Amino acid sequence: MKINFERSGGFAGITNSCVINSDKLSLDEQKHLQKLFNDVKNKKIENRSQKSEERDCFQYRILAEDGEEFIILTDELTMDPKLRLLIDFLESRL
């Protein structure tokens, strides 16, 4: 699985991004990432857009390629708790 992850916004408006190729992770990390991804994918997380009163919060874009493309757009105030776990894992790679 290949994941393009981007975090943007915040008070300073800085964008950080990374590409994670699961083949380059340890077997434990691969299994953990796959579980986190499957939890989010199976839950059908709703994409959210930024609202004006949330302009200083982070926004996240995840493009996962796992046989098919799967895109998630969300922000830190409205994200699902399962998605938070996946984002925490991805942010540790920034």
Could you state, in order of their start, the residue ranges of all structural domains in the chain?
2-91
What is the pTM for the complete model shown? 0.85
The residue-averaged pLDDT of 30-34 equals 95
The residue-averaged pLDDT of 46-50 equals 56
Rounded to the nearest 5 percent, the helix, strand and coil shares of the chain are 35, 30, 35
Question: In a 10 Å sphere around its CB, with 0-12 CB exposed, 13-18 middle and 19+ buried, how is residue 91 labelled?
Answer: middle
Report whether pLDDT(20) > 80.
Answer: yes
Backbone phi and psi for residue 35, each to the nearest 5 degrees, phi listed first: -65, -45
Q: Where are the alpha helices (DSSP H) in the chain?
A: 27-43, 81-91
Burial 26-38 (b: 16+ CB within 10 A, else e): eeeeeeebeebbe
Report whether pLDDT(70) > 50.
Answer: yes
- If one compares 43 and 82, the residue with the highest pLDDT of the two is 82
